[in-house]
Structure 1
Amino acid sequence: MKFLADMGVSPVTVLALRQQGYNAVHLNEQGLERLPDSEILEKARQEQRIVLTFDLDFGELLAISSQSLPSVIIFRVQNTIPVFVSSRLLAVLSECGEDLETGAIVTVEDNRYRVRRLPI
């Protein structure tokens, strides 16, 4: 799996993914700090990446588009410390990787996660 981290996601989380062997990039690393959400989705689609974000707008954009990719992981956690976010992400990936490969919005909370298959 390949990932594209939105600006709200810590580089620590990107590093944690890389340490686990995932291909992960952060918008900041590519000088794309101000890229609009719709263009982030298009970039992820073209590069076959899963978007990591704290921004609910991505779910809405995907619902409007009726497309099945890219998948998006939305963090809705109380504890936003990067180490916690990273551990939650890795736990969720081990359980719903197949859903993410075929197209889904995964909402990650402190103690649970929800999967909505795309298109919506």
Structure 2
Amino acid sequence: MIRVLLDQGLPRGAVPRLREAGWDAVHVGEIGMSRASDGEILDYARCADRVGITLDADFHTLLVLGSKTSPSVVRIRIEGLQAVAMAELLLRIWPRIESAVREGALVTVTERHVRIRRLTVDSHKP
């Protein structure tokens, strides 16, 4: 089952559509994390084994700087998507990114591209 955590900037209305498609989708507002820090949201996603979905570039930065291998995060870089359009976008791109996010990845989605960067710990770091 696909388990995702939608960040505060994303429309809550996308959650029911994702659930209809068989996903285990949760919005941070549903679980009392509306005011949580990015780090707290990432920690929750990691512990709950969920892929983070966000508009926020800071999630990718925190994972890279912290040399983390989870959780996977999908950053949407398309402004103004309404709930149904957001859900449909995720449903459409998921087959392309699913194996990468299962292994640990940072995914960036724009109107023209889907970019996947694997989350790996660099063994050469001190």
TM-score above 0.5 = yes
Matched-pair identity in %:
36
Shift of 1:94: 1.4
Unmatched runs of 5 consecutive residues or more in structure 1: none
Give the whole-Å Cα distance in 1 for the aligned partners of 2:22 and 2:68. Answer: 28
**What's the C-alpha RMSD, in Å, of the aligned pairs?**
1.3
- CA apart distance, 1:83: 2.3
Matches within 5 A, 1:1-120: 1-119=2-120
Q: Which runs of 5+ in 2 are unaligned?
A: 122-126
Under a length normalisation based on structure 1, what TM-score does the superposition of the two structures give? 0.93
Q: Which runs of 4+ in 1 moved over 6 A?
A: none
Larger Rg: 2
C-alpha separation in 2, matches of 1:94 and 1:28 = 27
Once the two structures are overlaid, the 10-residue window that deviates more, 71-80 or 99-108, is 71-80
CA–CA distance in structure 1, aligned partners of residues 38 and 120 of structure 2:
18
Contact 1:89 1:108 (8 Å CA) reproduced: no
Matched pairs, number: 120
Offset of residue 30 of structure 1: 1.1
Aligned 8 A contact 1:62 1:119 in 2: no
TM-score normalised per structure 2: 0.89
Structure with the higher helix share, 1 or 2: 1
Displacement, 1:79?
Answer: 4.5
